[in-house]
Amino acid sequence: MKIVHFADLHLGVENYGHIDPATGMNSRLRDTLNVFDELIEFTVNNDIDLVLFSGDAYKNREPSQTQQRELAKRINRLSEANVPVFMLIGNHDLPNAMGRATSTEIFSTLAVKNIYVATKPDVFSIHTKHGTVQVAALPWLRRSALLSREETRSLNFEQINQKMQQSLAGILDDHIKKLRPELPSILSAHVWVAGATAGTEKTMTIGQEHTLLLSTVANPAFDYVALGHIHKGQVLTEHPPVIYSGSLDRLDFGDEGQEKGFYIIEIDTAQKKPGARTSFTFHPVAAKKFLTIDIELPQGEPEPMRLILNELGDKAADIEGAIVRMRIGVPAGMESLLNDTAIKAALQTAYAFTLSRDIQREARTRLGTRSIEGLQPLDVLNIWLESKKIPAERAEIITRYAKQLTDSEESA
């Protein structure tokens, strides 16, 4: 049995794109659809039994009609090719208001052949060309779906997260009790598993995140655990395989240098013991390339443009067709020696580019009459608050949020 696992399509990411006047479609939407088409062509031409999508079809919770049309075209292509498609609801697929339909629910509402949409936790038995596979679904769940207001009253976020972990673990236990061990079993979950390395989803997060322990999802009852939500593809463990496929395309510079694609899972149905019948491989796609070019000009350099243009000439092959950000460190007083027109001309083969200058001025080591050299960020903030005579109540709020930021940076 061969299964394709992917996630985090995020149709609608349009940064660095432009409108195609012929179609009215944003070029970045076309980029995402191109890599999605690679997956579909592979599926149709390689005897795939099931396509497993682990959530986040769109960037926004209310996708445009064009985005919905383009997704429907491709899902219909798989349906007509008699390839079952399992679609899990991610956090970006949920509606803004409770009670509204999810963005992918239309496929189950219309009873599109071979399409299974998991809007709530459940176990699906899906019939494929090479037998039946069980898919335990754990879509993204709002806090209110797991815990009542009474349960969370007076609790901090860490305590609430612990209670949510317990609730999610209970759901998985119920799923496992329903599984037939002689049949292949897969867990598809859109969730943040503790210990995973974050990617671009940190900049796209909607609300605070809850996490699930790796030991909870890596249950030997599953032959494979197909994860979505984290955009950086990664294998968390191999026994059983617990894998984030990552976003199918590069979404911004947080994905720079990461290989993008999907996973191919092979399950030996002749083997009857869970965990001993699965292998997997990664299949890359031609994702949009992101490239950062950093140039630090030395103090007193007589010909800074020569250095810059030589560097761009050396990277010409990498620049072509890429989304480029160029950052130039410029010693104070040398700004007038740069020629933006010449730099932009050297970047003209890029798909899109941004150009920024960092003027390097002498670092300030004093705040008013007080030295800040060697102080911690929170200490400097307190000095600033004091110097500006910020009211104590507001200063306390600012300090609390600053501490949360510094704590999160230290733990990242």
Q: Encode the chain (412 residues) as per-residue pLDDT tens digits.
A: 999 999 999 999 999 999 988 888 999 999 999 999 999 999 999 999 999 999 999 998 889 999 999 999 999 999 999 999 999 999 888 776 555 666 777 776 667 789 999 999 999 999 999 999 999 999 988 766 666 667 766 777 677 778 888 888 899 999 999 999 889 999 999 999 999 998 765 554 444 567 889 999 999 999 999 999 999 999 999 999 999 999 999 999 999 999 999 999 999 988 766 666 899 999 999 999 999 999 999 998 999 999 999 999 999 999 999 999 999 999 988 989 999 999 999 999 999 999 999 988 765 556 666 666 667 888 889 888 888 888 888 888 898 888 878 776 655 5
Domain boundary among 260, 284, 308: 284
- Under 8 Å CB-to-CB from 58, ≥6 apart: which residues? 9, 10, 11, 12, 67, 71, 92, 93, 103
| 239 and 382 within one domain | no
> What range does the domain containing 382 cover?
366-411
The C-alpha angle 290, 296, 298, rounded to 5 degrees, equals: 165
Under 8 Å between Cβ of 26 and 60: no
Q: How many CB atoms lie within 10 A of CB 301?
A: 15
| 166 and 32 within one domain | yes
Domain boundary among 344, 360, 376: 360
Distance (Å, whole) CA 307 – CA 330: 12
Under 8 Å between Cβ of 103 and 64: no
| 374 and 319 within one domain | no
Give residue 394's pLDDT: 85
First to last CA, the chain: 38
| 58 and 117 within one domain | yes
Under 8 Å between Cβ of 77 and 44: yes
| 168 and 72 within one domain | yes
| 375 and 313 within one domain | no
The C-alpha angle 208, 214, 220, rounded to 5 degrees, equals: 140
Give residue 408's pLDDT: 64
- Under 8 Å CB-to-CB from 312, ≥6 apart: which residues? 293, 319, 343, 346, 347
Torsion over CA: 64, 69, 74, 75 (sign): positive
Looking at 192-256, which runs of residues are DSSP E strands? Answer: 192-193, 211-212, 224-228, 234-238, 241-244
**Which residue(s) pair with 292 in the sheet?**
325
> How many CA atoms lie less than 13 Å away from 68 in the CB half-sphere?
13
Distance (Å, whole) CA 21 – CA 116: 36
Q: Enter the tokens of residue 356.
A: 């920024």
Q: How many CB atoms lie within 10 A of CB 293?
A: 19
How many domains is the chain built from? Answer: 3
> How many CA atoms lie less than 13 Å away from 187 in the CB half-sphere?
31
Place of tokens 């409770």: 98
| 382 and 264 within one domain | no
Amino acid letter, residue 242: V
**Which residue(s) pair with 227 in the sheet?**
189, 244
Q: Enter the tokens of residue 395.
A: 């200063």
| 394 and 275 within one domain | no
Could you please report the per-residue DSSP string of 126-180? EEETTEEEEEEEE----HHHH--HHHHTT--HHHHHHHHHHHHHHHHHHHHHH--
Give residue 146's pLDDT: 63
| 328 and 184 within one domain | no
Domain boundary among 284, 308, 323: 284
- The CA distances from residue 251 to 4, 8, 46, 208, 287, in Å, are 21, 10, 27, 21, 9
| 335 and 200 within one domain | no
| 244 and 321 within one domain | no
| 170 and 239 within one domain | yes
Amino acid letter, residue 175: H
